[in-house]
Structure 1
C-alpha cells in the first residue's frame, strides 16, 4: 500500500455526490490510497480509495472527517467550481466600471 496526499482548492461553495449540504470554499486535503499490483514484471499500482478531508464547522469546529469520494466526483466538483468562477469573473457585476477618458 501507498498513500499520496495533495491539496485542492475550491473558490466557491460546492457539493459532493452522496453528501448533503454545501461545503465552504477553501483548501482541502485529498488522500489517495493505492495497492501494488502483484505478479507484473514492472511496478504498477491500483487506486483503492480516495478521501477528502473536511474540517468541521460550528459546533464541530476543530474536528476533521475523511469523506470517501470517487476520483470522478472530485473531478466533477472541481470542474463545476472552475465553471462557476469563470461565470462570476465574466458577469457584469464583477466588472469594474469603465474609466472616463474625455
Structure 2
C-alpha cells in the first residue's frame, strides 16, 4: 500500500488549544502534516487521511503531536470568526 504525507501551514490570529496539546499556544503559523494512504480496489487513484499532526515548539524542541483534524478545522473557523469580529470593531 502506498502512503504519502502532505504538509500545510495553518495560521491562528488568537491563542488556541487543541486536545492533545498541553496548555494554550500563541498565535502564529503552524505546520500541519496529514498522512494519507492509497485506497486500493477502485479504478481511480484516491487517498484517505489516516493521521494529522501539528508541529509545536517548546523552547528549542520541536514536536509533532497527533490531533483530530475536525477539531483543528473547528478551531481555525472559530479563530477566523473572532478575527472578523475584531476587524469589524476596529473599522468604525
Q: Which runs of 5+ in 2 are unaligned?
A: none
Q: CA deviation at 1:90?
A: 2.4
1:19-98 equivalent positions in 2, closer than 5 A: 19-56=21-58, 61-91=59-89, 94-95=90-91
TM-score by length of 2: 0.87
Structure with higher strand content: 2
* 1:6-37 C-alpha deviation (Å, 9 max, x unpaired): 10111111111343421100000010000011
Q: Which has the higher contact order (CA 8 A, sep 6+)?
A: 2
TM-score by length of 1: 0.79
Question: For the pair shown, which has the larger CA radius of gyration, 1 or 2?
Answer: 1
Superposition RMSD in Å: 1.5
